[in-house]
Structure 1
Amino acid sequence: MLSLDFLDDVRRMNKRQVLNFGMIVSSALMIWKGLMVVTGSESPIVVVLRQSGDIKFLTKGDNNAVDDRGLYKQGQHWLEKKDVVGRARGFVPYIGIVTILMNDYPKFKYAVLFLLGLFVLVHRE
């Protein structure tokens, strides 16, 4: 049976492999938390959906179901650079697509996490 073989492999795993997996997971969390501290934001990665060249922002509170357009001036749909107090410190094109895919397709997210975990667990040094 496939499931019993997998369990036997897990039991025979080297302690180094388990620690390696733990280090990968904790490193990803530390990088994310570090970005939060450096940027002063709970969401240090922002997705840009337009390619017109105009940088516009749409804000949303952490616990709100909808965006903050109701708080903007009458007829204003986006914030512009002059409206923003903070400052972007970097630009990495297309990195936000990972966030969008993970949020829109939870099965994809779990599949990627499973495959990464499986790779770490069965990869022998």
Structure 2
Amino acid sequence: MLTAFSGAKLRQTLVEGLNFCLVLTTAFMFWKGLSVAANSHSPIVVVLSGSMEPAFQRGDILFLWNRAPRVKVGDVVVYEVRGREIPIVHRIVRNHVSAQKQLLLTKGDNNAMDDVELYAYRQFYLNRDKEVIGAVKGYIPWVGYVTIMLSDHPWMKYLMLLGIGFTAMT
């Protein structure tokens, strides 16, 4: 009888492990599908600073779309600068369009000056095709604050993992 109990326990543990793997792979497939649909390697971002207040607050989750061939003045875009890991969310204030490319100048709504100081060395405009991840098409306020808290306080990651582990064991 003891061996039957341990076999049932092992089976239950394996089922829980497979369910966990199913959740992870489903989330990964959802992310990749959303990336393909939005034509962006990062279709969802979290606002990390107050530079776009009052339009977006710190902790808002933004949904990006990168299928439009051009963006216009007034659109809010997310871009990456060479040499920096964190994407920046700012509004387009100037637009230069030619047959080959679109050059953009951006500025945070809550900033006094444009973003030229944030761009790479000797760069005065963003290339739409190379540096822009996508234009903001929607947002959910405050939900991304969990991500900010986990980044600002690393001990919270371990506390969360401990809670997940404890819940999985019961």
- TM interval, shorter chain, is 0.5 to 0.7
Residue 76 in structure 1 maps to residue 114 in structure 2:
yes
49-58 vs 36-45, which moves further: 49-58
Bigger Rg over Cα: 2
Give the length in aligned residue pairs.
105
Identity of aligned residues (%): 31
Per the TM alignment, residue 21 of structure 1 is displaced from its structure 2 partner at its CA by: 1.5
Q: Which runs of 5+ in 2 are unaligned?
A: 1-8, 57-74, 89-103, 107-112, 117-125
AA in 2 matched with 1:39: A
Out of 85, 91, 106, the position equivalent to 2:139 is 91
Per the TM alignment, residue 77 of structure 1 is displaced from its structure 2 partner at its CA by: 2.6
Q: Is the 8 A contact 1:58 1:67 kept in 2?
A: yes
Q: Distance in 2 between matches of 1:116 and 1:34?
A: 26
Q: Which runs of 5+ in 1 are unaligned?
A: 1-11
Q: How does 1:2-17 map to 2 (within 5 A)?
A: 12-13=9-10, 14=12, 15-17=14-16
Q: Cα RMSD between the aligned structures?
A: 3.8
Residue 53 in structure 1 maps to residue 43 in structure 2:
no
TM-score by length of 1: 0.56
Larger strand proportion of the pair: 2
Per the TM alignment, residue 57 of structure 1 is displaced from its structure 2 partner at its CA by: 5.0
45-54 vs 17-26, which moves further: 45-54
Out of 58, 61, 64, the position equivalent to 2:84 is 64
SS of structure 1 residue aligned to 2:46: coil
Per the TM alignment, residue 31 of structure 1 is displaced from its structure 2 partner at its CA by: 2.3
AA in 2 matched with 1:94: W
AA in 2 matched with 1:33: K
